[in-house]
Amino acid sequence: MDGIIVSTERPTTVKTRIIASHQHVVRVDDESDKVTSAQEQVQLWMRIEKLLPQCDVVIFEDYDKGVLSAELIEKAVNLALKLNIPTVVDPKKRNFLAYQRVTLFKPNLKELREGLKVEVEAGNQSQVESAVTLLKNKLNAEGVMLTLSEHGVYIDFQQQKRKIPAHAREIADVSGAGDTVVSIAALCVALKLSPELIAELSNLGGGLVCQHVGVVPIDREELIQESKMLVQ
């Protein structure tokens, strides 16, 4: 609760998901995505400045709802760099190229195409690698991990480039998959795990939550068991 800022100027986002036969059909959002006021930006920065030094890793989960501004992102990343705290980003279109010098940047294919204005086919490895290299250079980021849906994950981080294939699953609902992927990736970065492990574990977690209807937490034991199968 220490990091929550209450706004009197905007509603709380409410997402209504339509489910039919255990399949997620459509989502209707009731919200505001206007940029927060100058006063709210000041309040948020004061809270970040106080709490960030206590963190092991910082996740920018950017939903493009107007809370994160380019200025706020720059200040938070600079503070994290000063304190040697890694930063991991799940981006959206509005601030896509504002995340300069972050540790790990995790777009999906749609976000990559829109952010760089390039055509990339998920199954074309040469295109994927070129686009990720371009993005990494534009952001001056340490690494990029691109999620490719049924084509898996591609990571370019710490002088390692790896393509991790997706695991065959019965998909019920993709809600929360991206959040799960970036959360696991951030924990792995904080633990200084290898790029391959970061991608493998994140890929596993994202796939596991897709087997369940609705937004669900990852089951630790299930993730551990599936992880053990990777090394057998």
What is the fold, at CATH topology level, of the domain defined by 58-66+84-230?
Answer: UDP-N-acetylmuramoyl-L-alanine:D-glutamate ligase (3.40.1190)
Domain assignments of the chain as residue spans, ordered by start = 58-66+84-230
The overall longest dimension of the chain from CA atoms, in Å, is 54
**Which distant-in-sequence residues (6+ apart) come within 8 Å of 4 by Cβ?**
none
Least confident span in 36-45, 83-92, 218-227 = 218-227
pLDDT band at 220 (very low <50, low <70, confident <90, very high): confident
Q: What is the pLDDT of residue 171?
A: 56
pLDDT in tens, 140-156: 999 999 999 888 899 99
Q: Which pair of tokens denotes residue 91?
A: 């981006």
Mean pLDDT in the chain? 88
pLDDT at 195: 96
What is residue 8's predicted lDDT score, i.e. its pLDDT? 87
Q: Is the pLDDT of residue 218 over 90?
A: no
179 classed as catalytic: yes
Q: Which residue has the tokens 């809270």?
A: 47
For residues 165-184, average pLDDT? 70
Q: Catalytic residue, from 62, 90, 173, 179: name it.
A: 179
Share of the chain above pLDDT 90, in %: 58
Residue 21: left (phi > 0), alpha (psi -120 to 50), or beta?
left
Q: Which residue has the tokens 């339509």?
A: 18
